Amino acid sequence: MNNSKHSDIEIELLLFGKWRYDRSGEKITIEFKDDMTYEQTTIQTLIFSKPKELIIGNKFIGVWYVSNKQLYLNIKNVPKSIFNLEIPLAFKVPLADMVASLGSVFMPEKYEVMRINSSKFLIMDKEQTIIGTKIK
């Protein structure tokens, strides 16, 4: 399961599909699609974090790639955010999508892929190690 034997393309191929992992106070399901987009659903498990979920939503859509054994996630859409305003009989103002997309350009989520195989991964962000399991 050590990633030292995997190239970036091999890591991408192993990531295709749906994964489940937990972070501090969150349960996350993410699906890496072969068109290099992803869809992530995040459920806050701490009562104090629920307002965050209500404001920004729990679904994130974006693009992903692997470079130098680093997984990069760039958010493009936050479809369930209350800041994506829709004015009846007029138009939709995707304010949350614009902010998330712009912020993601300058600071994408970045994870170091420590180990990966067809059923588990071990990745690390700045603060913690994350163990994920592939959902069949």
Owning domain of residue 105: 3-135
Please check whether residue 118 is in contact with residue 14, taking contact to mean a CB–CB distance below 8 angstroms: yes
Q: 11-46, pLDDT tens digit by residue? A: 999 999 999 999 888 999 999 999 999 999 999 888
Average confidence score pLDDT of the chain:
85
Output the domain CATH number for residue 76.
Answer: 2.40.128.640
Given this model, what pLDDT does residue 92 score?
A: 66
**High-pLDDT (> 90) share of the chain, %:** 53
Q: What angle do CA 19, 21, 27 make, to 5 degrees?
A: 115
Domains identified in the chain, total number:
1
What does the pLDDT look like over 84-115, one tens digit per residue? Answer: 666 666 666 666 666 676 666 677 889 999 99
Half-sphere exposure of 5 (CA within 13 A, CB side): 5
